[in-house]
């Protein structure tokens, strides 16, 4: 925060508190109990309704005192906690520090439970109902926004309930993905093979999965595929888990399988990122999450 804004915030806060205090006492009145017509006749506000005049009486003492206590509380609060510009308060409290304390306390409380499952193979963890419930909650909090609440993915986000895995579907592969993340990169080929090449390769890719295709264009596309695509996706189009190259022969499409969507992928390329979880989740939590994701495809 710049010096200007720091001073401005402090000045505004102090002026409002001091002004409120002054206003309370400057406008304070003493209740007049005299009778109408006497020297100490109560003043009225000038409001008349159905012949009834409104007396200009002061605030009830409980109400007045409540305002006073509120201002005193505000002053004490601003001394102890942040609120006056960049002044951190004499207690040094911060919301980040509070969050870190709560996280630390939760980790100490639940660490033994996570460590219990960490010592078990994933294949055993998936047989434990309580463990899967914990894994399901971890999934809902950390993964469902991309892969869906049911794990079936979305456009550009893999389906976790089938057996089509970009980087392998073993428990070890899934854990490696969660721990380190993944970065997928499909190069753009539009300027390399031209639009005719894009159309030809699209037809050849369709032929791999048994889809309707133009046989003449597919034959031309086969040659182009062998030159530019086979190194990653394999001569048979079944992909390569070592680099996350998808299987093109199973009819499962991460970015859509319509002719135009496939052409768009070839023409412009694709980039996908799976964030690493090692700095966000404990090892025990990742182990439970691995088990939950692993069993999704086993139960479908």
Look at residues 130, 108, 128 and name the one whose alpha carbon lies nearest to residue 120: 128
Radius of gyration of the chain (CA): 35
Task: Please check the confidence at residue 272 and state whether its pLDDT lies above 60.
Answer: yes
Q: What is the pLDDT of residue 243?
A: 94
Nearby residues of 205 by Cβ (< 8 Å), 6 or more positions away: 221, 225, 237, 248, 262
pTM of the complete model:
0.71
Contact criterion met (CB below 8 Å) for 267 and 198: yes
**Local structure of 182: helix, strand or coil:** strand
Confidence of residue 298 (pLDDT cuts 50, 70, 90): confident
CB-count exposure of residue 138 (10 Å: 0-12, 13-18, 19+) = buried
Backbone angles phi, psi at 55, to 5 degrees: -70, 145
| Burial class of residue 76 (count of CB atoms within 10 Å of its CB; 0-12, 13-18, 19+) | exposed
Query: SS3 for 272?
Result: strand
The pLDDT tens digits of the residues spanning 22-76 come to: 999 988 866 655 555 555 566 676 777 787 877 777 788 899 999 999 999 999 9
The tens digit of pLDDT for each residue in 242-252 reads 999 999 999 99
Q: Above 70 in pLDDT, residue 79?
A: yes
Give the contacts of 61 (CB within 8 A, at least 6 positions apart): none
Q: What is the mean pLDDT of the chain?
A: 91
Torsional class of 168: left (φ above 0), alpha (ψ -120 to 50), beta (otherwise): left
pLDDT tens sequence across 154-184 = 999 999 999 999 999 999 999 999 999 999 9
DSSP at 157: B
Say how far apart CA 222 and CA 205 lie, in whole Å.
8
Task: Indicate the Cα dihedral angle 204, 241, 142, 118, nearest 10°.
Answer: 160
For residues 48 and 292, the model is more confident at: 292
Q: Is the pLDDT of residue 108 over 60?
A: yes
Give me the phi and psi of 158, to 5 degrees please: -60, 145
CB-neighbour burial class of residue 286 (10 A; exposed 0-12, middle 13-18, buried 19+): buried
């Amino acid at each position: 925060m710049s010096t200007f804004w720091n001073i401005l915030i402090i000045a505004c806060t102090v002026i409002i508190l001091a002004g409120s205090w002054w206003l309370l006492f400057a406008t304070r009145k003493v209740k007049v109990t005299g009778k109408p017509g006497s020297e100490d006749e109560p003043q009225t506000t000038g409001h008349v309704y159905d012949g009834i005049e409104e007396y200009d009486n002061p605030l009830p003492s409980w109400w007045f005192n409540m305002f006073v206590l509120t201002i005193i509380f505000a002053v004490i609060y601003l001394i102890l906690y942040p609120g006056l510009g960049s002044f951190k308060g004499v207690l040094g409290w911060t919301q980040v520090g509070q969050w870190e304390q709560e996280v630390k306390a939760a980790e100490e409380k639940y660490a033994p439970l996570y460590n219990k499952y960490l010592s078990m193979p994933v294949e055993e963890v998936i047989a434990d109902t309580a463990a899967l419930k914990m894994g399901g909650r971890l999934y809902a909090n950390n993964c469902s926004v991309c892969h869906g609440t049911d794990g079936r993915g979305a456009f550009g986000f893999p389906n976790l309930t089938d057996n089509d895995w970009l980087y392998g579907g073993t428990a070890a592969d899934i854990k490696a993905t969660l721990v380190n993340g993944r970065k997928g990169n499909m190069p753009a080929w539009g300027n390399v093979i031209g639009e005719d090449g894009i159309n030809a390769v699209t037809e050849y890719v369709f032929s791999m999965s048994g889809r309707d295709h133009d046989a003449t264009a597919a034959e031309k596309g086969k040659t182009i595929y062998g030159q530019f695509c086979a190194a990653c996706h394999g001569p048979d189009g079944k992909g390569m888990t070592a680099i996350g190259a998808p299987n093109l022969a199973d009819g499962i499409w991460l970015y859509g399988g319509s002719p135009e969507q496939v052409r768009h992928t070839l023409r412009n390329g694709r980039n996908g990122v799976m964030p690493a979880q090692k700095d966000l989740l404990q090892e025990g939590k990742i182990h439970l999450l691995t088990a939950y994701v692993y069993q999704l495809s086993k139960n479908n």
